[in-house]
Amino acid sequence: MKRNTLSASASDPFQGFLAAARTLPKIPTAIVILVFLTAICANLLTGMLLPEANQIDLRLRYTAPWPLQGSSPTHLLGTDRLGRDLLSRMIVGARNSLAVAVVAIFVAATVGTILGLIAGYLGGWADAVMMRCVDIMLSFPAILVALVFVVTIGASFWMVVTILALLLWAHFARLVRGEVLSWKERDFVALAKVAGASTPRIIVQHLFPNIFNSVVVLATLQIGWAIVVESALSFLGAGIPPPEPTWGNLVAEGRDVLDSAWWISVFPGLAIMLMVLSFNLFGDWLRDVLDPKLRQL
Amino acid sequence: MWKLFVTRVIQAIFTLWVVSGVVFFSARITGSPDLALMPPDALPEDRATFRAAYGLDKPIVVQYGRWLERVLHGDLGKGIQHKVPVVELIGPRLLNSLKLATVGVVMAVVLALPLGVVAAVKRGQLWDRIAMGVGLGGQALPSFWLALILVLLFSVHLKLLPATGMGTWKHYVLPGFTLGWFITAGATRLVRSSMLDVLDAEFVKLARSKGVAELWVVCKHALRNALISVVTFLGFMFGIVIASSITTETVFVWPGIGRLVFEALLVRDFPLIQGIVLIWSAIMIFLNLLVDLAYGLLDPRIRM
């Protein structure tokens, strides 16, 4: 079935698009869009429809999720130890977690793509130096070193973004370099060279458009991973510092009261799982449609 | 083969050296250690004496050189919190972590190998769907959350298994499963996809057309070759085990090295953090090296 989609897309772009759209995984895509919209409108939602995420009300501590005993419909998913609304905190947490993941992926993809393009096209020592750096990055116990940095410099939004970007850029650089190596031998590049195009022009105008799809696919597939790592860092207290909620530090907050107030850990964790699962399924689909070569990734 | 060996070893040493530099200089970003080790109201003269006594008045590169020399002799200093040499502190904890990691890796091999093979052979059928489910689920479930859910289910509600500590075999079940789940998922996907590749290869078709029994074809011809790509995954697998052991051991209060690094981070015990990161990095880089070399032996094509 997938093969049909691909051959159709080669013959007629519009038909191909329709055929591809029909194989779109509907539920995962819907979840991704829904969570993104919620994250973007987080301030609107928590201000108008729901209580503020940091609004403390000690009388309502550990309210159970609705419709369990002692709950109220104003706190659908219950409240935490300070009486803050869990749903509101999860929505703001979605904004924080997604912002970190998306910004980090963007930075890593940009840096990795630029370095991969240059190294792949120029070859020689530039390539050798960069590939050694990539090798080192990939065998680096990066999570640990990241933790050291967090302790010395302090946790913040940009710290987490930097860490994730440092962990990820090597994957992009390696992918792009490999792609460039196969593209740069093609005739159209040779023609451009003969026509007098400069090196930057060849890279930007002729090579970059051809590798763009692969970068997008890898970025989508890596977002799930970035969300998981971000939440793990938050869980360890090395992510965005509280009281600002993230999915990871919400799970951590509920850890000590697991037997009495299970919902504080369970719902944010479910959110992480659903989001990552959806992103991966969506990424798999995107890969099949845009870039069947990458199926091995 | 020699050239591969030499370049990989040099690369591993270089990586370790980079790690040591990062570890040393990152600890100095916040200032000289005398700020942390001396009382805040210490006199400037006392500070100067202290700095001279510990060589802190020397240029930072010289300090790094002396530190590196001591590290190479196995002296990682003393922890600030426990006042015990870091090496003695890490040793027993590392052993505990390795026990747990072994459970996880054994689980991955025992589950992933048959599941991946059956999924590839019966492609598109029930077992394949289960294998794909395990693969996707493993990527999406954060290990710290899985750990909490397991505790909630088996310790709090069913009261079957202990939630924290170590002692009997029962203590190994939950943390071992948590640690193993992640790599089981990755390994299942990998075994399945490499089996699918190999089952399509010419020599497997030849074996089939010669009339070799299907079971024999799968087990001997296909599996043996599919395992090559699984070997490369091993190094990566240990990387994952190490990373997720921090959260897993924290949740289960397992007295391993992941829990130790978390405790050290909480009290900002720099010598201990440095020691753990260095030893851990060395193990990981060494494993990667072994995997690279094993791969070179198994697959002659990359012996260049």
* pLDDT reading at A103 higher than 90: yes
Asked if the Cβ–Cβ distance from A228 to B250 is below 8 Å, we say no
* Residue A149 distance to chain B (closest CA, Å): 6
**What pLDDT digit, counting tens, does each position of B196-215 carry?**
877 777 777 788 788 777 77
Greater model confidence, B256 or B296:
B256
Query: Which residues in chain B have Cβ-Cβ distances shorter than 8 Å to A232?
Result: 142-144, 243-244, 246-247
Given 3-state DSSP classes, what are the helix, strand and coil percentages for chain B, each rounded to the nearest 5?
A: 80, 0, 20
Of A161, A55, A46, A155, which is closest to residue A98 (Cα–Cα)? A161
Burial A71-90 (b: 16+ CB within 10 A, else e): beeebbbbbbeebbbbbbbb
* pLDDT reading at B236 higher than 70: no
Residues B100 and B172: beta-carbon distance below 8 Å: yes
* pLDDT reading at B297 higher than 90: no
Read off the pLDDT of each residue in B141-156 and give the average, rounded to a whole number.
86
Integer Cα distance of B182 and B179 in angstroms: 6
How many other C-beta atoms lie within 10 A of the C-beta of residue A27? Answer: 11
Integer Cα distance of B290 and B281 in angstroms: 14
Asked if the Cβ–Cβ distance from A145 to B277 is below 8 Å, we say yes
* pLDDT reading at B73 higher than 70: yes
CB pairs under 8 A between A and B: 135
Write out the residues of chain A at the interface with chain B, using a CB-CB cutoff of 8 A: 132, 135-136, 139-141, 143-145, 147-153, 224-225, 228, 231-232, 235-238, 248, 251-252, 254-255, 258-259, 262, 265-266, 269, 272-274, 276-277, 280-281, 296
* Residue A261 distance to chain B (closest CA, Å): 11
B277 closest CB neighbour out of A132, A144, A238? A144
* pLDDT reading at A220 higher than 80: yes
Query: Which residues in chain A have Cβ-Cβ distances shorter than 8 Å to B251?
Result: 255
Give the model's pLDDT for residue B235: 65
Integer Cα distance of B198 and B21 in angstroms: 43
Helices (H), B29-168: 34-37, 44-53, 60-72, 86-121, 126-140, 143-150
A141 closest CB neighbour out of B145, B152, B280? B280
Residue of chain A minimizing CA distance to B158 = A259
Which residues pair with residue A79 across a beta bridge? A85
Integer Cα distance of B274 and B70 in angstroms: 13
Query: Which residues in chain B have Cβ-Cβ distances shorter than 8 Å to A164?
Result: none
Integer Cα distance of B292 and B294 in angstroms: 6
Would you state the torsion angle of the CA atoms of residues A90, A96, A100, A103, taken in this order, to the nearest 10 degrees?
120
| Average pLDDT of chain B, as a whole number | 79
pLDDT confidence bin for B35, thresholds 50/70/90: low
Residue type, B259: R
Residues B79 and B266: beta-carbon distance below 8 Å: no
B243 closest CB neighbour out of A143, A150, A277? A143
DSSP string, B186-248: HHHHHHHHHHHHHHTSHHHHHHHHTT--HHHIIIIIIHHHHHHHHHHHHHHHHHHHHHHHHHH
Integer Cα distance of B221 and A198 in angstroms: 51
Greater model confidence, A12 or A176:
A176
Asked if the Cβ–Cβ distance from B148 to A251 is below 8 Å, we say yes
**What pLDDT digit, counting tens, does each position of B92-126 carry?**
888 888 888 888 888 888 888 888 888 888 877 88
Give the model's pLDDT for residue A112: 92
Asked if the Cβ–Cβ distance from A251 to B285 is below 8 Å, we say no
**What pLDDT digit, counting tens, does each position of A45-95 carry?**
777 777 777 777 777 777 777 777 777 777 777 787 777 888 888 888 888
* pLDDT reading at B151 higher than 80: yes
| Average pLDDT of chain A, as a whole number | 81
**What pLDDT digit, counting tens, does each position of A8-38 carry?**
444 566 777 777 777 788 888 888 888 888 8
Greater model confidence, A128 or A294:
A128
pLDDT confidence bin for A101, thresholds 50/70/90: very high
Burial B198-219 (b: 16+ CB within 10 A, else e): bbeeeebeebeeeeeeeeebbe
Give the model's pLDDT for residue A2: 42
B26 closest CB neighbour out of A152, A248, A254? A152
pLDDT confidence bin for B299, thresholds 50/70/90: low
Q: What is the ipTM of this complex?
A: 0.79
* pLDDT reading at A185 higher than 80: yes
How far CA B73 is from CA of B11, B68, B84, B87, B282, in Å, comes to 21, 9, 17, 11, 15
* pLDDT reading at A297 higher than 50: no
Read off the pLDDT of each residue in B127-147 and give the average, rounded to a whole number.
83
Residue of chain B minimizing CA distance to A154 = B30
Read off the pLDDT of each residue in A253-262 and give the average, rounded to a whole number.
82
* pLDDT reading at A4 higher than 50: no
* pLDDT reading at A7 higher than 60: no
B27 closest CB neighbour out of A152, A238, A269? A152
Give the model's pLDDT for residue A105: 94
* pLDDT reading at A102 higher than 80: yes
Q: How far apart are the first and last CA of chain A?
A: 20
Asked if the Cβ–Cβ distance from B251 to A237 is below 8 Å, we say no
Greater model confidence, B82 or B247:
B247
B22 closest CB neighbour out of A145, A251, A296? A145
**What pLDDT digit, counting tens, does each position of A104-156 carry?**
999 999 999 999 988 888 888 888 888 878 877 776 666 777 777 777 777 88
Instruction: For chain A, give the percent of residues with pLDDT over 90.
Output: 6
